[in-house]
């Protein structure tokens, strides 16, 4: 999939973005520095063209972590376009892709990670692929938050378990504070959507849009 030079460029663009000193997520920077930030290039966020390949990557990512659960790692799916989506249009397309991945996971008989809830209204909600819980960070050109603004649509998948491991080691809160401080410095305000797992459903955070208090998540896992 990465053999096409135009797709290779997507990987280079995104890693340069993460490496930029202004980018606030120290977790992604750590993953990049340790060679555990993988970039998968795809065509169109609004199309199912690469859904099978992306889901296969998620399954492999889950298995790889189970075999070596050390350090931070992220799987970033960088799409060639579109680059003109509004925040709502990006959010809609993002959830369409996520629904497609979940449908494939269920069709293959993959179990839902029992450490999290499959209900997107539940404060303990996370996605599950290959039996492992994931949360998603969406980025795109028209994001209102500077930290979520990239030249192309991106879905970054992070394993829930690795952050639970940081909590158990007493390292999570310090990392979270550093990210919040850096985000505040570039945006001038804290992201109103951010909440700890168990306080509010993380589904509200995925797209980066400041969703309404009565917002309803369009995702439903077929295994529920």
Domain boundaries in the chain? Answer: 5-205
Beta bridge partners of 139: 154
Whether the per-residue pLDDT at 1 is higher than 50: the answer is: no
For the entire predicted model, the pTM comes to 0.90
Predicted confidence band of residue 192 (pLDDT cuts 50, 70, 90): low
Mean pLDDT lowest among 26-30, 61-65, 79-83:
26-30
Predicted confidence band of residue 123 (pLDDT cuts 50, 70, 90): very high
Whether the per-residue pLDDT at 145 is higher than 60: the answer is: yes
Lay out the sheet containing 74-81: strands in order across.
Answer: 37-44, 74-81, 154-159, 132-139, 127-129
- Pick 45 or 147 by higher pLDDT: 45
Note the pLDDT of residue 93.
Answer: 98
Of all residues in the chain, the percent with pLDDT exceeding 70 is: 88
Scan for tokens 């849009």, then name that residue: 209
């Amino acid at each position: 999939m990465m053999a096409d030079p135009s797709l290779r460029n997507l990987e280079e663009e995104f890693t340069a973005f993460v490496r930029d000193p202004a980018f606030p997520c120290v977790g992604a920077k750590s993953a990049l520095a340790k060679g555990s930030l993988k970039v998968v290039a795809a065509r169109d966020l609004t199309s199912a063209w690469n859904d099978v390949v992306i889901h296969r990557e998620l399954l492999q990512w889950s298995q790889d972590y189970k075999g070596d659960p050390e350090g931070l790692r992220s799987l970033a799916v960088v799409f060639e376009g579109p680059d003109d989506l509004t925040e709502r249009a990006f959010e809609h397309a993002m959830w369409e892709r996520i629904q497609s991945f979940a449908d494939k996971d269920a069709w293959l008989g993959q179990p839902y990670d029992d450490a999290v809830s499959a209900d997107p209204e539940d404060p303990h909600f996370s996605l599950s692929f290959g039996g492992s819980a994931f949360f998603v960070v969406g980025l795109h050109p028209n994001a209102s938050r500077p930290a979520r603004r990239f030249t192309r649509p991106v879905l970054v998948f992070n394993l829930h378990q690795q952050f639970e491991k940081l909590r158990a080691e007493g390292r999570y809160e310090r990392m979270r504070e550093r990210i919040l401080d850096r985000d505040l410095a570039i945006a001038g305000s804290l992201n109103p959507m951010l909440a700890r797992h168990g306080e509010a459903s993380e589904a509200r955070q995925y797209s980066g849009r400041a969703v309404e208090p009565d917002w309803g998540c369009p995702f439903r896992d077929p295994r529920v």
